[in-house]
Structure formats: structure tokens, C-alpha cells
Chains A and B, each alone.
Chain A
Amino acid sequence: MKAVYKRELESYFNTMTGYVFIAIVAAFIGLYFVLYNLRMGHPYFAAALSSTIAVFIFAVPVLTMKSFAEERKTKTDQMLLTYPVSVPSIVLGKFFAMMTVYLIPLLIGCLCPLVIRIVGKGSLVIDYSAIVLFLCLGAFFISIGMFVSALTDSQVIAAVVTMAVLLVIVIWDSITNYIPETPVASLIGFIVIFFLAAFIIYRSTRCWTAPALIAIFGLVASIACYFMAESWFQGALKKLLAALSIFGPMNNFVSYYVFDVKGLLIVICFAALFIFLTIQAVQRRRWN
């Protein structure tokens, strides 16, 4: 893992990618800091940082797009996969290398709360916990980008798809607002989710039994629950989807100054899930 980590990190600084990412993200953090905190006099750096989320939607894919797509295109994955290294250590090595590049502009941002502290009154606790949240969000975004990159051998497609996915995640709250709350809508929604899961499992395993069981179980269980506890279905789909929100925890940190452990855990779990999926995607490619 160490060798892969070192090589990946060096490759970001042998090419322009690392410098461009750091320069752009740091410049926008600086810009928002100047506008929000220094000009408008907002006391917390957390607010400025949360506004830079849009920059991350475009910058993170630039970081992640080449991670696996390029290896596949130049066939260097043939070296990694025939060496005595495991796929998880390759994936983790790459992940931590990207996290390191991601961390650098955040570390520069760590100076901002100190500046506020010197010239006025701020809260280091609130600001630094927002930076911790952004670190976890970075892990989540990077794991998604890495997963998408492992699915294709085109860097451009990897970048565009990752941008689209990150955009959906960021506007997730606005989307879930439009989900109908009636029990029937929830029932249909749950059945669709089960069938979608079954379809995805079938597509990736080419095996009928497990997806069929999931689909039948989902159908029966949803309908049974619907007739037994209709009231529970009231707005259940909306609640479920809203629980996956990333902006919820961010608002808690930034607007309500609450250290939202649950929200943080959700973000970290999603990052772990996508790292796991990346490992599976790389393994799977060996078999097709």
C-alpha cells in the first residue's frame, strides 16, 4: 500500500493535476473567506467554507478521474495486478494519495480561523469542526470519483459522471422535497428500490437466484407492511431518502453549530461503502 500511495502522490505532482487542484480550491476558499469574513464580517469561517462546496463538485472529479481509468488505458494495471499486492491495498493506496492532495488546501484553510481570531471574535471549535466535516465529505466525494473511474477507461467520462453524481448529492435535499408523502407513493417507491437493487445485483453477478429472492422479498414485505401498518408508510419514503442527505449534517455544523456525529458517521460509512465497491469493481474486471 505504501508503494502505491507514494507513486500516486508523486504522479499528482509530476503532472499539473495536483497543483491545479490545490491552486483552484485554495483560491476559492481564500475568495469566500475574504468576502464572507473579512468584508462582510461574518464571525465564522465555517460559513465561508460551506459555500465553497460548489468548487469541490468540479475539482474533486479532476483529482479522481485518472485513478483507475488511466491505469486501464495505459495497461499499467497489468503490473499492479500481477504483483504480490492485494487489490484492497492498491485501492487504499490510491485513496489515501488523493486524500493527501485534498487535505493540502484544507490545511491552508486552517489558517483562516486563526486570522479571524486575531482580528475579531470567532469560534475555533465551530470552524475546525466544520473543517473536519469537509475532510469527511472529501473522503466521500473521492471514494465516489474513484469508483466511477474504476468502471471506465475514459478519464473524460469518469470526470463528467462523477460531477453529475456529486451535483445530485449536493442538491439531494431539494429533490427529496418533491417526493409525495402518501402511503401508496411510499409503497411504490420501496418496491422500485428493491427491484433496482435486484437489477444491479443481477447485472454485476449474472446470477438469477439472489436478485430474484431480493425482488420477491421486497415485493411481499412492502405489500405486507403496507396492509399491516399503513400509517407507518405515511411519508416513509421521503424520510428514508432524506436521511441520506449530506447537507443536513452540514447545516447542523454550519448554521446550528451542532457537532452532528450521526451525520458524520453516515458520510464516513458512505465513503467506506464506495471504497468497498471500487475494490469489487477492480476485482470484477479481472473476470470479464
Chain B
Amino acid sequence: MIEVRNLVKQYGDHYAVDDISFTIEKGRIYGFLGPNGAGKTTTMNIMTGYIGLTSGQVIVNGHDIQEEPYEAKSCIGYLPEHPPVYGDMTPLEYVTFAAELKNIPADEREESIKKAMELTKIVDVQDRLIKNLSKGYRQRVGFAQAILGFPEVIILDEPTVGLDPRQIHEMRELIRSLGKDHTVILSSHILSEVQDVCDHIIIIHKGKLIAQGTPEELENQMRGAAMELTLKADDPEKVGAMLSAIPGAKNVTCHPAKNGEVMAELEPEDKNSDLREAVFNACAAAGCPLLMMKPSSISLESVFLELIADTGAEAQVKAEAESESQEEKDGDAQPEAPETDEKGGDE
């Protein structure tokens, strides 16, 4: 459906997008996840043909966005970060203008305008000037423009920013229903949203693609093979010694819990080995009934934080070094990198 190959966007010495490649397949909902300033919007702007690229290739439905922009853009509906609405028009006029611009045939025009406006629930306000509408409604008018004519790919840049909780819920429902027979790409820095709506997640940080996969895959990737146990025993130290004695186990930690139970964690030395049986047998031999055994869970949130912390730490060190050398030159210079990094860390 969409293929992005070695995409690079350079502004002076700054790489907004640094060698990103991925493939978008039909009929799925993709989520671009990343802290503010990660390069999500830039990537989307390039994919939709709004800005040019430094090097690389974007192919939409077999059409290169640079060489055959007309064909490529015809397959895409795009809602940018700020809804591109004209304040001096009413929603109905605006959506009609969008339909004319998209070259929707005259006999289908009225029908598709009606559909888009009903889906986004802007029929009630269709005759008011857009500049008098609230942010939520404006966002919906922008959304109506993007889904108008139901293009094969719908790209949404932070579609829920500035909406109230009820509107966010409605927006997610709408995206989910669109995802049934369209390809939807949305960007967000809100993890729960992406986790909630998307089938496939692409994590971008500092212009680089650092991980991609389904939410489960991402969790598995980070999980490793650590286990959590609960045993019935009085002495945590004895349990610790018993578990450490199991061949292939390492990093054993034990701490007492209520009602004469002990909670323990251990990791296998070899990630692929299965220690469950050995653990069971050891506990049985020691006379400590095993109450619970499960792989330690890791949420997508910690995956995300860990991933951006890894690359973030490197970049931070580099940025600090740069800023120090800059400060020597002139005190006024404000390096960009640490600022975006702090923002990223907060989220």
C-alpha cells in the first residue's frame, strides 16, 4: 500500500527524519508513536506530498509521491496537526470545496459529502462559520475533509489533541470503524491511544525508527524470559538459596509477602530455555507449595519509555557536549536537542 524507503529529511545540519523505512499494508491501523519533536509530523507531511524529501522514496499504491503526485495524492486523505479549515466558510461550503478539489464526480458528490458530515457529526453546525466553532468541531470538520470520498489511505496527525474525553472516545470509535476497510495511519504521543486503537505500532524517536510491530510483539521483544513466583514458605532466604541452586537460573530475588508467602523473581541464563519444570520440581522437593508462576509482564508503556530512554541517553550526552562547546562560543545559543528530550521523557 505505502512503502517508505530510506527516507531522510534534512534541515541545515539537523536531521528531522533520519533514514526511516517501513511498509504499510492494506486494511490495518498503524500508529506512529514518539515524543514531541520525534519526526512524526515531518514523516507524515512527506508521505502526503506537502513537503519535499532530502533523499529516499515514498511509494503510495505504486505511485511515487514525487514523480506522480497527482495519482499518489488521490489515494490519500490527510488531517494535519492543525485542521486546515477556512474560517470564513461554513462546514458545508468547506466540505463541498474539498469534494470539488478532490475531483469527486458530480453525481456522487452530494452523497459522499453527506456521508462524511454524518460520520463526523457536523451536520448540526453545517451552516455556522468555521471560525465560530469550537476546537473539537473544527477538528471534526478537518476530519470530514480527510475521509471525504473514502480514500484508501487515511492519515491523521494527532487526531485527538485538544478534544474532550467524550470526543476522544468518539474519535477513536470512528477510527476503529474506518480501520475495518481502510488503511489508517495515525500519530500520537499518547501511548494508551495507540495501544487502544492500532494493530501495528511504529516507534519513532529523534528522526529514527527504533521499533515496530504489533503491541504484543513489542512487549514480547522486551520481555525476556523472567518469571515471577509466589511460594508458601516462611524464610525468604531459604527460598532464595533453593532457587539459586536450580541450574541455569540467575538474578534471584526474594521478598516476604503477607500470610506466610514469599514472592520471588528469577531469570534464566539462556533466554530461550524453559525453567518452569525445574522450578516446580525444586519447590516440590523443598516442600514449598508453588502458588503462582507467571512470566513477568512488561507494559507497552515501559517498552516505550525504555526504547526512547536508550536512544535518548545517547543523544542527550551528544547534545550536552554540543551545547557545552556552543556555550563557549556564545552564551545565547540554545541547543534544541535537550529540550525535546526532556519533553519526551515526561510523557
Contact = CB atoms under 8 A, between A and B. Distances in A.
Contact of B87 (A2, A10, A74): A74
B183 interface: no
Contacts, number: 69
A262 interface: no
A286 to B, nearest CB: 5
A1 to B, nearest CB: 10
Nearest to A2: B100
A82 B70 CA distance: 9
Nearest to A77: B84
A83 B101 contact: yes
B22 interface: no
Contacts of A79: 80, 84, 98, 101, 145
Interface residues of B, number: 29
A83 B85 contact: no
Given A2-B100, A75-B80, A84-B70, A14 B89 contact: yes
Contact of B85 (A2, A4, A76): A76
A3 B80 contact: no
Interface size class on chain A is: 20 to 34
A15 B88 CA distance: 7
A85 interface: yes
A10 B102 contact: no
Interface stretch (B71-79, B169-177, B200-208): B71-79
Interface in A85-120: 85-86
B295 interface: no
A78 B81 CA distance: 10
A287 interface: yes
Contacts of A74: 84, 86-87
A82 B100 contact: no
Interface in B76-123: 76, 78, 80, 82, 84-89, 93, 97-98, 100-103
A7 interface: yes
Interface of A: 2-4, 6-7, 10-11, 14-15, 74-86, 286-287
